[in-house]
Amino acid sequence: MVLRASLQKREEKERVRHALLRAALQLGSEHGFSSLGLREVSRAAAIAPTSFYRHFTDMPELGLALVHELVRPLLQTLTSEPVTANTPHATLVERMFEAVEQDAELVRFVVAERFGSFASLRKALAEELERVVLALHWADTGADRATHAPHLLETGMALLLDGLGRILDASGNDRAVLCETLIRAYAPLVHHAQTEQRRA
Amino acid sequence: MVLRASLQKREEKERVRHALLRAALQLGSEHGFSSLGLREVSRAAAIAPTSFYRHFTDMPELGLALVHELVRPLLQTLTSEPVTANTPHATLVERMFEAVEQDAELVRFVVAERFGSFASLRKALAEELERVVLALHWADTGADRATHAPHLLETGMALLLDGLGRILDASGNDRAVLCETLIRAYAPLVHHAQTEQRRA
DNA sequence: TGTACATCAGTGAACGCGCGTTCACTGATGTAC
DNA sequence: TGTACATCAGTGAACGCGCGTTCACTGATGTAC
């Protein structure tokens, strides 16, 4: 006997699962993902603590789901449409800063947990960020997919994430200033990249 | 009546305080500072939980003490002796990587909590790192102490911390590779700085 | 169509445990005179 | 020198609380025939 949940059932489960993820994100942005408890998150998602186990075995597993189901889509939007040809990285920076406006909690999660306390989360986030760097590399150069991304792009990503961390603690006008500052910090990198390409 | 503890007494108290700080650092590097408990740290420092209050009012206060009493001295060693004139930043990077060898737990604390969950810790660490950047700027240019540090140096610091975060999860040979990679990532920055200075 | 059964998200009670904090106390060591 | 008192780091017992986890259960909804 093969039983399958109806679409309605599956959607309802998905809704609760999503509520748990968002609750963890919100609470985590306040006092850190590693200090979150299963009961605390369940309470915020308006389900009984015991219902948590219908979705995740424990909080670390929920953390990985956050990376794969929320962080990955966010990062994919950065490279989904080709960036403007003449100022590709400035555009990238601006997009990321827009992401802060739209979903600061998610961005804080990425920035905080990248060097946070859970090794599994650090690894998962590093992989997702590496995807972005590789996608940018292919877009820039049309390089073969087996090619390693150049250090320059990884440097750019490090700068970007650092900038995001800074603006999360800033507000209003300061954010715009930090955005411009970051784009200017990119300048030597872009210049260097062009020089290298001219040589090749 | 003015009572003062003897030197011996004060040294003993300082010894226990230091044990608490080191215990927090060790445990925090395993599963995150924000998840640390007063009892857990006291246990690791071999004192009764109630004795904790003789040294700190709570864990956040201990965190600030970590920044001021352990992180600050570490960072000061980076700029205490003038860096080699011709390759100042490569030397800086190498020094920081040596710090990882000597006290990885302390470096992880800096890297993790810089964008971690405690706003007070983020602020305190940002201030300490800004000190380093300013000190480097003065050393480089002999600039007036009122001068703001250039974005280029802040960019360099962002790269450095990102690199440190990466090598903390690497081991052995990978570390040396990452160190070289980072020094190469510095190249465009240094080149850009020289160009700017030539202009001025 | 009706009936018997399977699935499965959500639940409330209950458990043992470690937590942060309070309290009154000890004992070593300092000061006053 | 002796005596009375102050200071203060460290302590063990006790508290109430929230935690993660287990368990047996409910009720809605699916499948089989």
pLDDT tens digits, B71-92? 999 999 988 865 555 556 667 8
| Rounded CA separation B96/A155 (Å) | 18
How many residues in chain B?
A: 200
Which candidate from A122, A181, A191 shows the least CB-CB separation from B192? A191
Q: How far is CA A80 from CA A77, B75, B162, B183, in A?
A: 5, 41, 26, 32
Cβ(B17)–Cβ(B55) below 8 Å: yes
Would you place residue A184 in the very low, low, confident or very high pLDDT band (cuts 50, 70, 90)?
Answer: confident
- pLDDT value at B5 more than 80: no
Cβ(B87)–Cβ(B139) below 8 Å: no
- Chain B residue with minimum CA distance to A151: B185
In this prediction, residue A6 carries a pLDDT of 80
Mean pLDDT of A13-31: 97
| Rounded CA separation A70/A65 (Å) | 8
| Rounded CA separation B134/A131 (Å) | 35
Which candidate from B122, B165, B185 shows the least CB-CB separation from A115? B165
**Of all nucleotides in the shown strands, which has a C1' nearest the CA of A46?**
C10
CB-based contact, B162 to chain A, within 8 Å: yes
> Rg of the Cα trace of chain B?
19
Percent residues over pLDDT 70 in chain B = 86
Q: The pTM is what?
A: 0.92
- pLDDT value at B149 more than 80: no
Top residue of B27, B30, B162 to mutate, by most chain A CBs within 10 Å, is B162
| Rounded CA separation A99/A92 (Å) | 11
- pLDDT value at B44 more than 90: yes
Q: Which nucleotides of C are covered by protein (CB under 7 A)?
A: 6-14, 18-24, 29-32
Percent residues over pLDDT 70 in chain A = 86
Q: Please, what is the end-to-end C-alpha distance for chain A in angstroms?
A: 64
Long-range contacts of B98-102 (CB under 8 A, 24+ apart): B99/B74, B100/B164, B100/B167, B100/B168, B100/B175
Mean pLDDT of B181-190: 80
Mean pLDDT of A127-155: 80
